Structure 1
Amino acid sequence: MNIAFSPCPNDTFVFHAWVHGLVPGAPVLDVTYADIDITNNWAANSEGPEVMKISYAALPWVLSEYRLLPCGGALGRGCGPLVLTSGRPAETSTPAMLSGKRVAVPSERSTAYLLFRLWAARHVPGGVGEIVVMPFHEIMPAVRDGSIDAGLVIHEARFTYPSYGLSLLTDLGSWWESDTGLPIPLGAIIARRTLDTTAITGWIQASVDYAWTHPQASQAYVMQHAQELSQEVAKSHIDLYVNEFTSDLGEDGYAAIEALLGRAAVEGLVPRFDLSLLR
Protein backbone atom coordinates (compact mmCIF):
# COMPACT_ATOMS: atom_id res chain seq x y z
CA MET A 1 0.00 0.00 0.00
CA ASN A 2 1.29 3.46 -0.90
CA ILE A 3 1.27 6.12 1.84
CA ALA A 4 2.63 9.65 2.14
CA PHE A 5 3.19 11.59 5.34
CA SER A 6 5.61 14.21 6.55
CA PRO A 7 8.99 13.49 8.18
CA CYS A 8 7.81 15.42 11.25
CA PRO A 9 8.14 13.60 14.61
CA ASN A 10 4.40 13.23 15.20
CA ASP A 11 3.87 11.43 11.87
CA THR A 12 6.87 9.13 12.16
CA PHE A 13 5.90 8.34 15.77
CA VAL A 14 2.34 7.45 14.74
CA PHE A 15 3.24 5.32 11.72
CA HIS A 16 6.45 3.70 13.03
CA ALA A 17 4.81 0.40 13.96
CA TRP A 18 2.96 -0.04 10.67
CA VAL A 19 5.99 0.99 8.59
CA HIS A 20 8.14 -1.57 10.44
CA GLY A 21 5.72 -4.48 10.14
CA LEU A 22 4.62 -4.43 13.76
CA VAL A 23 0.87 -4.23 13.09
CA PRO A 24 -0.61 -7.73 12.66
CA GLY A 25 -2.42 -8.23 9.36
CA ALA A 26 -1.49 -4.83 7.95
CA PRO A 27 -0.05 -4.70 4.41
CA VAL A 28 3.53 -3.63 3.71
CA LEU A 29 3.79 0.14 3.25
CA ASP A 30 5.61 1.96 0.46
CA VAL A 31 6.30 5.29 2.18
CA THR A 32 6.86 8.69 0.58
CA TYR A 33 7.99 11.42 2.98
CA ALA A 34 6.59 14.74 1.79
CA ASP A 35 5.73 18.06 3.40
CA ILE A 36 2.05 18.79 3.66
CA ASP A 37 1.99 21.48 0.96
CA ILE A 38 3.08 18.78 -1.50
CA THR A 39 0.49 16.22 -0.40
CA ASN A 40 -2.25 18.88 -0.47
CA ASN A 41 -1.57 19.37 -4.18
CA TRP A 42 -1.32 15.63 -4.87
CA ALA A 43 -4.69 15.02 -3.28
CA ALA A 44 -6.38 17.88 -5.12
CA ASN A 45 -5.09 16.59 -8.45
CA SER A 46 -5.99 12.95 -7.66
CA GLU A 47 -2.32 12.06 -8.17
CA GLY A 48 -1.48 11.06 -4.64
CA PRO A 49 -0.86 7.75 -2.91
CA GLU A 50 -3.68 5.60 -1.60
CA VAL A 51 -3.30 6.97 1.93
CA MET A 52 -1.80 10.30 2.92
CA LYS A 53 -1.58 13.16 5.37
CA ILE A 54 -3.02 16.49 4.19
CA SER A 55 -4.26 19.70 5.77
CA TYR A 56 -7.84 19.77 6.98
CA ALA A 57 -8.12 22.96 4.94
CA ALA A 58 -7.56 20.93 1.76
CA LEU A 59 -10.42 18.50 2.39
CA PRO A 60 -13.12 20.34 0.39
CA TRP A 61 -11.13 19.74 -2.81
CA VAL A 62 -10.58 16.00 -2.28
CA LEU A 63 -13.65 14.43 -0.65
CA SER A 64 -15.03 13.05 -3.89
CA GLU A 65 -11.97 10.79 -4.24
CA TYR A 66 -10.78 10.39 -0.64
CA ARG A 67 -12.43 9.66 2.68
CA LEU A 68 -11.38 11.34 5.93
CA LEU A 69 -10.20 8.73 8.42
CA PRO A 70 -11.07 9.22 12.10
CA CYS A 71 -7.51 8.68 13.33
CA GLY A 72 -3.81 9.28 12.72
CA GLY A 73 -3.97 13.03 12.18
CA ALA A 74 -3.14 16.12 14.21
CA LEU A 75 -5.88 17.94 16.09
CA GLY A 76 -5.71 19.34 19.57
CA ARG A 77 -5.52 22.24 21.97
CA GLY A 78 -2.59 24.56 22.62
CA CYS A 79 -0.96 23.53 19.34
CA GLY A 80 -2.06 26.14 16.84
CA PRO A 81 -0.03 28.12 14.30
CA LEU A 82 1.79 31.28 15.35
CA VAL A 83 2.21 34.65 13.64
CA LEU A 84 5.76 35.90 14.26
CA THR A 85 7.52 39.20 13.68
CA SER A 86 11.14 40.26 14.13
CA GLY A 87 12.56 42.07 17.15
CA ARG A 88 11.34 42.27 20.71
CA PRO A 89 7.62 42.51 21.41
CA ALA A 90 6.37 46.01 22.01
CA GLU A 91 3.28 47.23 23.81
CA THR A 92 2.15 48.78 20.54
CA SER A 93 2.43 45.50 18.59
CA THR A 94 -1.08 44.80 17.32
CA PRO A 95 -2.55 42.87 14.38
CA ALA A 96 -3.02 46.21 12.59
CA MET A 97 0.74 46.34 12.02
CA LEU A 98 0.25 43.66 9.34
CA SER A 99 -1.84 45.95 7.13
CA GLY A 100 -0.29 45.99 3.67
CA LYS A 101 2.73 43.93 4.80
CA ARG A 102 4.42 40.83 3.32
CA VAL A 103 3.55 37.65 5.20
CA ALA A 104 5.10 34.23 4.58
CA VAL A 105 2.90 31.13 4.88
CA PRO A 106 3.78 27.42 4.53
CA SER A 107 1.04 26.52 2.03
CA GLU A 108 -1.95 28.20 0.43
CA ARG A 109 -4.13 25.22 1.33
CA SER A 110 -2.82 24.67 4.83
CA THR A 111 -5.03 24.81 7.90
CA ALA A 112 -2.59 27.37 9.28
CA TYR A 113 -3.24 29.71 6.36
CA LEU A 114 -7.00 29.15 6.55
CA LEU A 115 -6.99 30.07 10.25
CA PHE A 116 -4.82 33.08 9.44
CA ARG A 117 -7.29 34.30 6.78
CA LEU A 118 -10.26 33.90 9.13
CA TRP A 119 -8.38 35.78 11.87
CA ALA A 120 -7.00 38.52 9.59
CA ALA A 121 -10.45 39.24 8.17
CA ARG A 122 -11.47 40.36 11.67
CA HIS A 123 -8.26 41.88 12.96
CA VAL A 124 -6.15 43.36 10.14
CA PRO A 125 -7.72 46.56 8.74
CA GLY A 126 -7.57 46.57 4.96
CA GLY A 127 -5.94 43.16 4.95
CA VAL A 128 -2.31 42.14 4.59
CA GLY A 129 -0.32 42.98 1.48
CA GLU A 130 1.53 40.17 -0.26
CA ILE A 131 1.30 36.51 0.76
CA VAL A 132 4.51 34.59 0.03
CA VAL A 133 4.43 30.78 0.08
CA MET A 134 7.69 29.14 1.18
CA PRO A 135 8.79 25.90 2.91
CA PHE A 136 8.04 26.22 6.60
CA HIS A 137 11.69 25.78 7.63
CA GLU A 138 12.63 28.88 5.59
CA ILE A 139 10.04 31.18 7.14
CA MET A 140 11.72 32.11 10.43
CA PRO A 141 15.10 32.93 8.81
CA ALA A 142 13.26 35.12 6.26
CA VAL A 143 11.48 37.05 9.03
CA ARG A 144 14.71 37.36 11.01
CA ASP A 145 16.60 38.65 7.96
CA GLY A 146 13.90 41.20 7.07
CA SER A 147 12.94 39.86 3.64
CA ILE A 148 9.46 39.15 5.08
CA ASP A 149 7.53 41.32 7.54
CA ALA A 150 5.84 38.46 9.38
CA GLY A 151 5.66 34.70 9.20
CA LEU A 152 3.01 32.08 9.84
CA VAL A 153 4.73 29.08 11.43
CA ILE A 154 3.74 25.59 12.51
CA HIS A 155 5.12 22.50 14.22
CA GLU A 156 8.38 22.77 16.16
CA ALA A 157 8.63 26.51 15.50
CA ARG A 158 6.47 26.88 18.61
CA PHE A 159 9.53 25.85 20.60
CA THR A 160 12.38 27.34 18.57
CA TYR A 161 11.29 30.81 17.39
CA PRO A 162 12.96 32.72 20.29
CA SER A 163 16.35 31.43 19.09
CA TYR A 164 15.78 33.39 15.85
CA GLY A 165 15.16 36.61 17.78
CA LEU A 166 11.49 36.61 16.77
CA SER A 167 8.43 37.73 18.69
CA LEU A 168 4.92 36.31 18.92
CA LEU A 169 2.27 38.59 17.46
CA THR A 170 -0.61 36.14 17.93
CA ASP A 171 -1.30 32.49 18.62
CA LEU A 172 -4.01 31.48 16.15
CA GLY A 173 -4.77 28.34 18.11
CA SER A 174 -5.56 30.35 21.24
CA TRP A 175 -7.74 32.67 19.16
CA TRP A 176 -9.62 29.75 17.61
CA GLU A 177 -10.14 28.00 20.94
CA SER A 178 -11.38 31.14 22.69
CA ASP A 179 -13.67 31.96 19.75
CA THR A 180 -15.19 28.49 19.33
CA GLY A 181 -14.38 26.45 22.43
CA LEU A 182 -13.19 23.71 20.08
CA PRO A 183 -9.79 22.10 19.38
CA ILE A 184 -7.76 23.07 16.31
CA PRO A 185 -7.92 20.78 13.26
CA LEU A 186 -4.47 20.70 11.64
CA GLY A 187 -3.53 17.57 9.68
CA ALA A 188 -5.90 14.87 8.40
CA ILE A 189 -5.31 11.30 7.23
CA ILE A 190 -7.26 10.41 4.09
CA ALA A 191 -7.64 7.21 2.07
CA ARG A 192 -9.07 6.55 -1.37
CA ARG A 193 -12.78 5.72 -1.21
CA THR A 194 -12.18 2.59 -3.28
CA LEU A 195 -10.21 1.03 -0.39
CA ASP A 196 -11.40 -0.75 2.75
CA THR A 197 -11.17 2.32 4.95
CA THR A 198 -12.48 0.46 7.99
CA ALA A 199 -9.48 -1.88 7.84
CA ILE A 200 -7.06 1.00 7.28
CA THR A 201 -8.52 2.82 10.28
CA GLY A 202 -7.93 -0.27 12.43
CA TRP A 203 -4.30 -0.58 11.27
CA ILE A 204 -3.58 3.08 12.02
CA GLN A 205 -5.19 2.85 15.46
CA ALA A 206 -3.10 -0.25 16.17
CA SER A 207 0.03 1.67 15.13
CA VAL A 208 -0.92 4.53 17.46
CA ASP A 209 -1.54 2.11 20.32
CA TYR A 210 1.85 0.48 19.74
CA ALA A 211 3.54 3.89 19.76
CA TRP A 212 2.00 4.77 23.11
CA THR A 213 2.72 1.35 24.61
CA HIS A 214 6.34 1.30 23.39
CA PRO A 215 7.34 5.02 23.30
CA GLN A 216 11.07 4.28 22.96
CA ALA A 217 10.71 1.86 20.06
CA SER A 218 10.28 4.58 17.46
CA GLN A 219 13.02 6.90 18.74
CA ALA A 220 15.68 6.03 16.15
CA TYR A 221 13.16 6.21 13.29
CA VAL A 222 11.79 9.54 14.52
CA MET A 223 15.24 11.11 14.86
CA GLN A 224 16.33 9.75 11.45
CA HIS A 225 13.69 11.96 9.83
CA ALA A 226 13.58 14.80 12.37
CA GLN A 227 15.31 17.39 10.14
CA GLU A 228 18.12 18.12 12.61
CA LEU A 229 15.81 18.67 15.57
CA SER A 230 17.15 17.88 19.01
CA GLN A 231 15.72 14.85 20.80
CA GLU A 232 14.11 17.18 23.35
CA VAL A 233 12.33 19.25 20.68
CA ALA A 234 11.21 16.10 18.84
CA LYS A 235 9.68 14.75 22.07
CA SER A 236 7.92 18.07 22.74
CA HIS A 237 6.56 17.95 19.19
CA ILE A 238 5.15 14.45 19.73
CA ASP A 239 3.70 15.32 23.14
CA LEU A 240 1.90 18.31 21.63
CA TYR A 241 0.47 16.78 18.46
CA VAL A 242 -0.18 13.14 19.38
CA ASN A 243 -3.16 12.97 21.73
CA GLU A 244 -6.59 11.38 22.16
CA PHE A 245 -7.75 12.82 18.82
CA THR A 246 -4.94 10.92 17.08
CA SER A 247 -6.59 7.65 18.06
CA ASP A 248 -10.19 8.78 17.46
CA LEU A 249 -11.54 12.18 16.41
CA GLY A 250 -14.72 11.73 18.43
CA GLU A 251 -17.57 14.23 18.45
CA ASP A 252 -15.39 17.19 19.52
CA GLY A 253 -12.97 16.47 16.70
CA TYR A 254 -15.65 16.29 14.04
CA ALA A 255 -17.36 19.40 15.45
CA ALA A 256 -14.07 21.31 15.17
CA ILE A 257 -13.55 20.25 11.55
CA GLU A 258 -17.12 21.14 10.62
CA ALA A 259 -16.81 24.54 12.33
CA LEU A 260 -13.55 25.37 10.55
CA LEU A 261 -14.61 24.32 7.07
CA GLY A 262 -18.17 25.55 7.50
CA ARG A 263 -16.94 29.05 8.39
CA ALA A 264 -14.43 28.99 5.57
CA ALA A 265 -17.09 28.00 3.04
CA VAL A 266 -19.38 30.84 4.18
CA GLU A 267 -16.46 33.28 3.76
CA GLY A 268 -15.72 31.90 0.30
CA LEU A 269 -12.27 30.66 1.34
CA VAL A 270 -12.99 27.04 0.33
CA PRO A 271 -15.55 25.53 -2.06
CA ARG A 272 -18.96 24.80 -0.57
CA PHE A 273 -19.46 21.09 -0.01
CA ASP A 274 -21.70 18.60 1.79
CA LEU A 275 -20.44 18.52 5.39
CA SER A 276 -21.84 14.99 5.76
CA LEU A 277 -18.96 13.79 3.56
CA LEU A 278 -16.64 14.39 6.50
CA ARG A 279 -18.03 11.39 8.38
Structure 2
Amino acid sequence: MTPRLTLAHSPCPNDTFVFHALTHGLVPGAPEADVRLADIDITNGLAERSELDVLKVSYAVLPHVLDHYALLPCGGAVGRGCGPLVLVKDGDTADTLAGARVAVPSTSSTAYLLFRLWAARTLPGGVGEIVVLPFHEIMPAVRDGLVDAGLVIHEARFTYGHYGLRLVTDLGEEWEKQTGLPVPLGAIIARRSLGARRLGELARAIRASVQSAWNAPEASRAYVLKHAQEMATDVVDQHIELYVNSFTAELGDDGQAAVRALLGRSAELGLLPAVPDGALDFPAVPDGAPDPPADSRQRPQH
Protein backbone atom coordinates (compact mmCIF):
# COMPACT_ATOMS: atom_id res chain seq x y z
CA MET A 1 0.00 0.00 0.00
CA THR A 2 1.31 3.45 -0.92
CA PRO A 3 1.89 5.54 2.21
CA ARG A 4 -0.39 8.52 2.76
CA LEU A 5 1.18 11.88 2.07
CA THR A 6 1.39 14.64 4.65
CA LEU A 7 0.24 17.94 3.18
CA ALA A 8 0.09 21.46 4.62
CA HIS A 9 -1.38 24.57 3.06
CA SER A 10 -3.04 27.74 4.27
CA PRO A 11 -6.75 28.09 5.10
CA CYS A 12 -7.01 30.90 2.53
CA PRO A 13 -9.80 30.49 -0.03
CA ASN A 14 -7.47 29.94 -2.98
CA ASP A 15 -5.74 27.00 -1.27
CA THR A 16 -8.87 25.31 0.09
CA PHE A 17 -10.51 25.76 -3.32
CA VAL A 18 -7.54 24.24 -5.16
CA PHE A 19 -6.98 21.27 -2.86
CA HIS A 20 -10.57 20.42 -1.92
CA ALA A 21 -11.08 17.75 -4.58
CA LEU A 22 -7.70 16.12 -4.01
CA THR A 23 -8.02 15.94 -0.24
CA HIS A 24 -11.66 14.81 -0.26
CA GLY A 25 -11.19 11.82 -2.51
CA LEU A 26 -12.77 13.44 -5.58
CA VAL A 27 -9.77 12.94 -7.90
CA PRO A 28 -9.60 9.34 -9.14
CA GLY A 29 -6.21 7.80 -8.52
CA ALA A 30 -4.94 10.75 -6.48
CA PRO A 31 -2.65 9.96 -3.55
CA GLU A 32 -4.33 9.98 -0.15
CA ALA A 33 -3.19 12.82 2.08
CA ASP A 34 -3.39 13.85 5.70
CA VAL A 35 -4.00 17.60 5.59
CA ARG A 36 -2.86 20.31 7.97
CA LEU A 37 -4.17 23.85 7.53
CA ALA A 38 -1.69 26.44 8.75
CA ASP A 39 -0.67 30.00 8.00
CA ILE A 40 2.17 30.44 5.53
CA ASP A 41 4.69 31.35 8.23
CA ILE A 42 4.10 27.95 9.79
CA THR A 43 4.32 26.05 6.52
CA ASN A 44 7.53 27.92 5.67
CA GLY A 45 8.99 26.72 8.95
CA LEU A 46 7.79 23.16 8.38
CA ALA A 47 9.53 23.17 5.00
CA GLU A 48 12.78 24.52 6.43
CA ARG A 49 12.70 21.68 8.98
CA SER A 50 11.73 19.19 6.25
CA GLU A 51 8.83 17.88 8.33
CA LEU A 52 6.09 17.11 5.76
CA ASP A 53 5.81 15.65 2.27
CA VAL A 54 3.96 18.42 0.41
CA LEU A 55 3.63 22.07 1.39
CA LYS A 56 2.46 25.45 0.18
CA VAL A 57 5.29 27.89 0.93
CA SER A 58 6.45 31.37 0.05
CA TYR A 59 8.73 31.57 -2.98
CA ALA A 60 11.06 33.53 -0.70
CA VAL A 61 11.97 30.36 1.24
CA LEU A 62 12.58 28.24 -1.84
CA PRO A 63 16.39 28.67 -1.92
CA HIS A 64 16.54 27.34 1.66
CA VAL A 65 14.63 24.12 0.99
CA LEU A 66 15.54 22.97 -2.53
CA ASP A 67 17.98 20.36 -1.25
CA HIS A 68 15.05 18.35 0.08
CA TYR A 69 12.07 19.60 -1.93
CA ALA A 70 11.19 19.95 -5.61
CA LEU A 71 9.10 22.81 -6.95
CA LEU A 72 5.86 21.46 -8.43
CA PRO A 73 4.76 23.11 -11.68
CA CYS A 74 1.16 23.61 -10.50
CA GLY A 75 -1.06 24.42 -7.53
CA GLY A 76 0.66 27.60 -6.39
CA ALA A 77 -0.13 31.32 -6.45
CA VAL A 78 1.32 33.27 -9.37
CA GLY A 79 -0.52 35.94 -11.28
CA ARG A 80 -0.98 39.47 -12.51
CA GLY A 81 -2.67 42.25 -10.60
CA CYS A 82 -2.38 40.28 -7.36
CA GLY A 83 0.73 41.57 -5.61
CA PRO A 84 1.10 42.90 -2.06
CA LEU A 85 0.29 46.52 -1.25
CA VAL A 86 1.97 49.18 0.86
CA LEU A 87 -0.60 51.31 2.68
CA VAL A 88 -0.63 54.46 4.80
CA LYS A 89 -3.37 56.29 6.64
CA ASP A 90 -5.47 58.42 4.32
CA GLY A 91 -4.47 62.03 4.85
CA ASP A 92 -0.85 61.18 5.56
CA THR A 93 1.06 63.62 3.38
CA ALA A 94 4.47 61.92 3.63
CA ASP A 95 5.84 61.36 0.13
CA THR A 96 8.38 58.71 1.15
CA LEU A 97 8.64 55.80 3.55
CA ALA A 98 12.27 56.60 4.37
CA GLY A 99 12.65 56.18 8.12
CA ALA A 100 9.08 54.94 8.48
CA ARG A 101 7.88 52.26 10.90
CA VAL A 102 6.37 49.57 8.67
CA ALA A 103 4.22 46.64 9.79
CA VAL A 104 4.62 43.39 7.84
CA PRO A 105 2.92 40.00 8.27
CA SER A 106 6.17 38.04 8.05
CA THR A 107 9.84 38.47 7.24
CA SER A 108 10.00 35.12 5.43
CA SER A 109 7.20 35.88 2.96
CA THR A 110 7.42 36.70 -0.73
CA ALA A 111 5.50 39.91 0.04
CA TYR A 112 8.33 41.08 2.28
CA LEU A 113 10.91 40.05 -0.31
CA LEU A 114 9.11 42.12 -2.95
CA PHE A 115 9.00 45.01 -0.48
CA ARG A 116 12.77 44.76 0.06
CA LEU A 117 13.40 44.67 -3.69
CA TRP A 118 11.24 47.78 -4.12
CA ALA A 119 12.82 49.55 -1.14
CA ALA A 120 16.33 48.83 -2.42
CA ARG A 121 15.44 50.68 -5.61
CA THR A 122 13.36 53.55 -4.20
CA LEU A 123 14.43 54.06 -0.56
CA PRO A 124 18.23 54.23 -0.50
CA GLY A 125 18.09 55.32 3.14
CA GLY A 126 15.90 52.36 4.06
CA VAL A 127 12.90 52.29 6.36
CA GLY A 128 13.17 53.03 10.04
CA GLU A 129 11.82 49.85 11.61
CA ILE A 130 10.09 46.64 10.52
CA VAL A 131 7.38 45.45 12.89
CA VAL A 132 5.95 41.95 12.46
CA LEU A 133 2.23 41.81 13.23
CA PRO A 134 -0.47 39.21 12.58
CA PHE A 135 -2.01 39.93 9.19
CA HIS A 136 -5.41 40.92 10.61
CA GLU A 137 -3.80 43.54 12.91
CA ILE A 138 -1.86 45.45 10.25
CA MET A 139 -4.56 47.65 8.74
CA PRO A 140 -6.01 48.62 12.16
CA ALA A 141 -2.47 49.46 13.33
CA VAL A 142 -1.95 51.79 10.35
CA ARG A 143 -5.40 53.33 10.83
CA ASP A 144 -4.74 53.95 14.53
CA GLY A 145 -1.28 55.43 13.99
CA LEU A 146 0.61 52.65 15.76
CA VAL A 147 2.79 52.27 12.65
CA ASP A 148 3.45 54.57 9.72
CA ALA A 149 2.70 52.06 6.96
CA GLY A 150 1.63 48.49 6.43
CA LEU A 151 2.50 45.73 3.97
CA VAL A 152 -0.65 43.72 3.22
CA ILE A 153 -1.62 40.79 1.04
CA HIS A 154 -4.58 38.82 -0.27
CA GLU A 155 -8.06 40.11 0.58
CA ALA A 156 -6.71 43.44 1.93
CA ARG A 157 -6.58 44.47 -1.73
CA PHE A 158 -10.38 44.57 -1.64
CA THR A 159 -10.94 45.97 1.86
CA TYR A 160 -8.26 48.54 2.76
CA GLY A 161 -10.56 51.46 1.90
CA HIS A 162 -12.86 50.39 4.75
CA TYR A 163 -10.02 51.23 7.17
CA GLY A 164 -9.45 54.72 5.80
CA LEU A 165 -6.14 53.76 4.23
CA ARG A 166 -4.41 54.95 1.08
CA LEU A 167 -2.28 53.01 -1.37
CA VAL A 168 1.37 54.05 -1.56
CA THR A 169 2.46 51.40 -4.02
CA ASP A 170 1.23 48.15 -5.51
CA LEU A 171 4.33 45.96 -5.36
CA GLY A 172 2.92 43.52 -7.89
CA GLU A 173 2.30 46.33 -10.36
CA GLU A 174 5.84 47.60 -9.77
CA TRP A 175 7.21 44.09 -10.34
CA GLU A 176 5.27 43.73 -13.59
CA LYS A 177 6.50 47.11 -14.82
CA GLN A 178 10.09 46.19 -14.06
CA THR A 179 10.04 42.66 -15.48
CA GLY A 180 6.97 42.21 -17.68
CA LEU A 181 6.38 38.98 -15.76
CA PRO A 182 3.64 37.77 -13.41
CA VAL A 183 4.15 37.93 -9.65
CA PRO A 184 5.26 34.66 -8.01
CA LEU A 185 3.82 34.50 -4.50
CA GLY A 186 3.26 30.96 -3.22
CA ALA A 187 4.77 27.66 -4.36
CA ILE A 188 3.83 24.01 -3.96
CA ILE A 189 6.80 21.85 -3.06
CA ALA A 190 7.15 18.10 -2.48
CA ARG A 191 9.90 15.88 -1.12
CA ARG A 192 12.45 14.85 -3.74
CA SER A 193 12.67 11.49 -1.96
CA LEU A 194 9.18 10.64 -3.25
CA GLY A 195 10.84 9.97 -6.60
CA ALA A 196 10.12 11.30 -10.08
CA ARG A 197 7.20 8.97 -10.82
CA ARG A 198 5.32 9.80 -7.63
CA LEU A 199 6.05 13.49 -8.02
CA GLY A 200 4.59 13.30 -11.52
CA GLU A 201 1.49 11.55 -10.20
CA LEU A 202 1.11 14.23 -7.54
CA ALA A 203 1.39 17.05 -10.08
CA ARG A 204 -1.27 15.43 -12.27
CA ALA A 205 -3.55 15.01 -9.25
CA ILE A 206 -3.16 18.68 -8.31
CA ARG A 207 -3.95 19.77 -11.87
CA ALA A 208 -7.04 17.54 -11.80
CA SER A 209 -8.05 19.04 -8.45
CA VAL A 210 -7.80 22.55 -9.90
CA GLN A 211 -9.89 21.56 -12.89
CA SER A 212 -12.46 19.88 -10.66
CA ALA A 213 -12.75 23.08 -8.61
CA TRP A 214 -13.35 25.14 -11.74
CA ASN A 215 -15.83 22.66 -13.16
CA ALA A 216 -17.89 22.37 -9.96
CA PRO A 217 -17.12 25.33 -7.68
CA GLU A 218 -20.19 24.65 -5.55
CA ALA A 219 -18.69 21.33 -4.40
CA SER A 220 -16.03 23.09 -2.33
CA ARG A 221 -18.14 26.07 -1.28
CA ALA A 222 -18.95 25.02 2.30
CA TYR A 223 -15.39 23.87 2.92
CA VAL A 224 -13.89 27.09 1.59
CA LEU A 225 -16.24 29.32 3.59
CA LYS A 226 -15.68 27.29 6.76
CA HIS A 227 -11.98 28.13 6.70
CA ALA A 228 -12.21 31.65 5.27
CA GLN A 229 -11.68 33.28 8.67
CA GLU A 230 -14.92 35.26 8.67
CA MET A 231 -14.19 36.72 5.24
CA ALA A 232 -17.28 38.07 3.48
CA THR A 233 -18.52 35.76 0.74
CA ASP A 234 -18.04 38.37 -2.00
CA VAL A 235 -14.43 38.85 -0.88
CA VAL A 236 -13.95 35.06 -0.91
CA ASP A 237 -15.14 34.99 -4.52
CA GLN A 238 -12.84 37.86 -5.52
CA HIS A 239 -9.95 36.17 -3.75
CA ILE A 240 -10.43 32.90 -5.65
CA GLU A 241 -10.99 34.66 -8.97
CA LEU A 242 -7.71 36.56 -8.58
CA TYR A 243 -5.38 33.92 -7.15
CA VAL A 244 -6.59 30.75 -8.89
CA ASN A 245 -5.74 31.21 -12.54
CA SER A 246 -3.99 29.56 -15.47
CA PHE A 247 -0.67 29.62 -13.59
CA THR A 248 -2.28 27.52 -10.86
CA ALA A 249 -2.98 24.75 -13.36
CA GLU A 250 0.41 25.04 -15.05
CA LEU A 251 3.28 27.35 -14.09
CA GLY A 252 4.42 27.41 -17.71
CA ASP A 253 7.25 29.37 -19.28
CA ASP A 254 6.16 32.79 -17.98
CA GLY A 255 5.65 31.45 -14.47
CA GLN A 256 9.02 29.72 -14.48
CA ALA A 257 10.67 32.90 -15.78
CA ALA A 258 9.01 34.92 -13.01
CA VAL A 259 10.31 32.57 -10.33
CA ARG A 260 13.84 32.66 -11.73
CA ALA A 261 13.73 36.46 -11.99
CA LEU A 262 12.54 36.88 -8.40
CA LEU A 263 15.14 34.55 -6.95
CA GLY A 264 17.90 35.80 -9.25
CA ARG A 265 17.35 39.50 -8.50
CA SER A 266 17.12 38.75 -4.77
CA ALA A 267 20.39 36.81 -4.85
CA GLU A 268 22.14 39.64 -6.72
CA LEU A 269 21.21 42.02 -3.88
CA GLY A 270 22.22 39.53 -1.21
CA LEU A 271 18.64 39.09 0.02
CA LEU A 272 18.59 35.33 -0.67
CA PRO A 273 21.16 32.61 -1.36
CA ALA A 274 21.76 31.88 -5.03
CA VAL A 275 19.85 28.89 -6.42
CA PRO A 276 22.10 26.22 -7.98
CA ASP A 277 21.66 25.44 -11.67
CA GLY A 278 18.91 22.87 -12.21
CA ALA A 279 17.49 23.13 -8.68
CA LEU A 280 14.20 24.59 -9.95
CA ASP A 281 13.73 21.96 -12.66
CA PHE A 282 10.91 19.49 -12.10
CA PRO A 283 12.20 15.91 -12.14
CA ALA A 284 11.51 14.16 -15.43
CA VAL A 285 8.68 11.64 -15.21
CA PRO A 286 9.80 8.15 -16.28
CA ASP A 287 8.79 6.86 -19.70
CA GLY A 288 5.34 5.32 -19.73
CA ALA A 289 3.77 7.76 -17.27
CA PRO A 290 0.60 9.33 -18.73
CA ASP A 291 0.55 12.98 -19.72
CA PRO A 292 -1.82 15.32 -17.89
CA PRO A 293 -5.27 15.54 -19.50
CA ALA A 294 -5.45 18.27 -22.11
CA ASP A 295 -8.26 20.11 -20.32
CA SER A 296 -6.39 20.27 -17.00
CA ARG A 297 -4.71 23.50 -18.05
CA GLN A 298 -7.87 25.28 -19.19
CA ARG A 299 -9.77 27.61 -16.93
CA PRO A 300 -13.48 27.80 -17.77
CA GLN A 301 -14.60 31.06 -19.30
CA HIS A 302 -17.42 32.73 -17.37
Q: Aligning the two structures, in what range does the TM-score lie when normalised by the shorter sequence?
A: over 0.9
Structure 1, residues 165-219: CA drift from partner, whole Å, max 9, x if none? 1110000000000110000000000001011211110110110010011111111
What is the correspondence of 1:70-89 to structure 2 with a 5 Å cutoff?
70-88=73-91
Aligned to 2:63: 60
Measure the CA separation in 2 of the matches of 1:214 and 1:127: 47
Aligned to 2:8: 4
Offset at residue 39 of structure 1 (A): 1.0
Offset at residue 275 of structure 1 (A): 4.3
- Which letter maps to 2:31? P
Match of 1:34 among 35, 38, 52: 38
Offset at residue 28 of structure 1 (A): 2.4
Aligned to 1:167: 166
Unaligned 5+ segments in structure 2 are 282-302
- Which letter maps to 1:71? C
Measure the CA separation in 1 of the matches of 2:91 and 2:182: 29
Aligned to 2:193: 194
Q: Conserved in 2, the CA contact under 8 Å of 1:89 and 1:168? A: no
- Which letter maps to 2:101? R
Secondary structure of the 1:217 match is helix
CA 1:232–1:275: 2 relative to 1, 3 Å:
farther
Structure 1, residues 24-82: CA drift from partner, whole Å, max 9, x if none? 112322111111111112211223x2101000111000000000000000000000000
What is the RMSD of the two structures over their aligned residues, measured on CA atoms? 1.1
- Which letter maps to 1:41? G
Q: Conserved in 1, the CA contact under 8 Å of 2:99 and 2:126? A: yes
Offset at residue 88 of structure 1 (A): 3.5
Measure the CA separation in 2 of the matches of 1:197 and 1:67: 9
Offset at residue 119 of structure 1 (A): 0.3
What is the correspondence of 1:95-110 to structure 2 with a 5 Å cutoff?
96=96, 98-110=97-109
Secondary structure of the 2:168 match is strand
Secondary structure of the 1:170 match is strand
Stretch deviating more after TM superposition (136-145 or 5-14): 136-145
Aligned to 1:22: 26
Measure the CA separation in 2 of the matches of 1:277 and 1:88: 47
Measure the CA separation in 2 of the matches of 1:74 and 1:268: 24
Secondary structure of the 1:206 match is helix
Stretch deviating more after TM superposition (154-163 or 132-141): 132-141
- Which letter maps to 2:57? I
- Which letter maps to 1:25? G
Measure the CA separation in 2 of the matches of 1:235 and 1:81: 18
Aligned to 2:212: 210
Measure the CA separation in 2 of the matches of 1:181 and 1:273: 22
**Identity over aligned residues, as a percent?**
65
Q: Conserved in 2, the CA contact under 8 Å of 1:258 and 1:275? A: no
Q: Conserved in 1, the CA contact under 8 Å of 2:31 and 2:202? A: no
Structure 1, residues 230-259: CA drift from partner, whole Å, max 9, x if none? 110000000000000000000000000000
Aligned to 1:261: 263
CA 1:156–1:275: 2 relative to 1, 3 Å:
farther
Secondary structure of the 1:88 match is coil
Aligned to 2:221: 219
Secondary structure of the 1:162 match is helix
Measure the CA separation in 1 of the matches of 2:43 and 2:146: 27
Q: TM-score, normalised by structure 1?
A: 0.96
Aligned to 1:155: 154
Q: Conserved in 1, the CA contact under 8 Å of 2:263 and 2:275? A: no
Q: TM-score, normalised by structure 2?
A: 0.89
- Which letter maps to 1:263? R
- Which letter maps to 1:266? E
Offset at residue 261 of structure 1 (A): 0.3
Runs of 4+ aligned structure 1 residues displaced above 3 Å come to none
Aligned to 1:135: 134
Q: Conserved in 1, the CA contact under 8 Å of 2:10 and 2:39? A: yes
Secondary structure of the 2:203 match is helix
Aligned residues: 274
